[in-house]
Structure 1
Amino acid sequence: MKTDRRKKGALRLAGFAIIWLAPFALVGAAVLTKTAGLAFAVTKDDSASAAAFLKAAAVFSDPRCVNCHPAGNRPLVGDQSLPHPMHVERGPQGLGRNGLWCSTCHQEKNLHDPHTPPGAPEWMLPPADMPMVFEKRTPRQLCEQFKDPARNGSRTPTEIAEHVREAPTVLWGWHPGEGRRAVPMPHDEFVRLMTEWAEKGAACPE
């Protein structure tokens, strides 16, 4: 008899537990379903963002960009990205050093004759404490660098997209002067890709 009473009591408690916990289980399931949907949406945006950056990375790896973003302290020149003649160096502010200043030869616009020094406003390299290296960087390494305020001049991804749209030295890559090959991707397409990258989450490609 005692055993039967215990069984009935246990069954009664189990029934109460099911009745009381069922609503919480349904709410939990709804939250999980909603969260799963959000996770899928974020993943979808991340995929589009990363794909946009991967395409844009072709510009960053072009000599017109790499030559002013070298891994070392010497700017590079030409389509072969050779070390700058006369042993020109970056200097602490990116303006040159030891009397070999960028502005000595590089004016605010290209000179007319072929193979003369190119020019644009604010012609310089990034400063020594924030060199923004493009040379020999994978698309993912470039992306991570662009997202790091300590390495990108404290810019947000949106500000980076604005920078590549407007900065004179960036625009120069599409108008490098006589005797030089321009960046092959159209500038408006490049800006569109960088804007998409920023607006969809600034995700980095694998």
Structure 2
Amino acid sequence: MNTFTKLAVASILWAGAVDAETVNGLRTADEFDTIDNEADRSVALFEEMFLVIESPRCMNCHPVNNTPLQGDDMQPHQPPVVRGDADFGAPGMRCSTCHGSENFTYTTGEGSIPGHEPWQLAPIEMGWVGLTAAEVCSQLKDPERNGDRTLAELHEHNAEDGLVGWGWEPGVGRTPAPGSQEVFGALTQAWIDTGAACPTG
């Protein structure tokens, strides 16, 4: 194999490794640069963000009622718990009763209890289960429902918040959200930069 062939093969392998590393089931923001119409590109970026939003790692803590879900199959939380005051659980059964500051792997190694400080449900105004991408997009942009966040603050939340980041470090027995928090944050910024357009329907 001559030097040129070796370089060509190395280049192909490198490109494949980068794709596998950066995508992980989620396209990066630059992959949408070929969409000329800015509004169409913005919608496409949000639809890619929605792949993260609709994953169990996000949906389980964004129920539309007062009961969190758990597992990749999004079953009602066991033991039964409720939202309670300030989304931290009911008195005597706070989220922190079982959920510590980090994931706790069972001694059998066959599962884990998720953990982060804080551990809580999203406000009910930010419930997502059963909603379409268009509905979630509208909700995220509405200060009356999104915790009075600006789009810049929404980007910061998606890109830097530790509880959001837990979705990619969920502990033994759970499938991580697609991509990475870095890719999700970059998609969020690109969506904002292109006008934060929402899908229809």
Greater RCO (CA < 8 Å, at least 6 residues apart):
2
Shorter-normalised TM range: 0.7 to 0.9
TM-score by length of 1: 0.74
How far did 1:139 drift? 0.6
Question: Structure 1 unaligned runs (5+)?
Answer: 1-42
Q: Which 4+ residue blocks in structure 1 deviate beyond 4 angstroms?
A: none
Matched residue type, 1:186: S
Matched, 1:95 2:91: no
Matched residue type, 1:163: H
Matched, 1:135 2:102: no
Distance in 2 (CA, whole Å) between partners of 1:205 and 1:136 is 16
How far did 1:180 drift? 1.4
1:93 and 1:126 in contact (8 A); partners too: no
- The root-mean-square deviation of aligned C-alpha atoms, in Å, is 1.5
Matched, 1:123 2:116: no
Deviations 1:15-64 (A, max 9, x none): xxxxxxxxxxxxxxxxxxxxxxxxxxxx9322211110011101100000
Taking the TM superposition and a 5 Å limit, the aligned residue runs for 1:56-95 are: 56-95=49-88
Distance in 1 (CA, whole Å) between partners of 2:151 and 2:174 is 30
Matched, 1:189 2:183: yes
Taking the TM superposition and a 5 Å limit, the aligned residue runs for 1:1-206 are: 44-113=37-106, 114-127=110-123, 130-206=124-200
Matched residue type, 1:142: V
2:69 and 2:77 in contact (8 A); partners too: yes
Matched residue type, 2:38: D
Matched residue type, 1:58: L
Deviations 1:51-93 (A, max 9, x none): 1001110110000000000111100000110111122011130
Distance in 2 (CA, whole Å) between partners of 1:86 and 1:98 is 15
SS at match of 2:86: coil
Distance in 2 (CA, whole Å) between partners of 1:161 and 1:102 is 26
User: Which structure has the larger Rg over C-alpha atoms?
Assistant: 1
TM-score by length of 2: 0.76
Question: Structure 2 unaligned runs (5+)?
Answer: 1-35
Number of residue pairs aligned between Structure 1 and Structure 2: 162
1:69 and 1:131 in contact (8 A); partners too: no
Deviations 1:103-135 (A, max 9, x none): 0110110013242321012110123xx431111
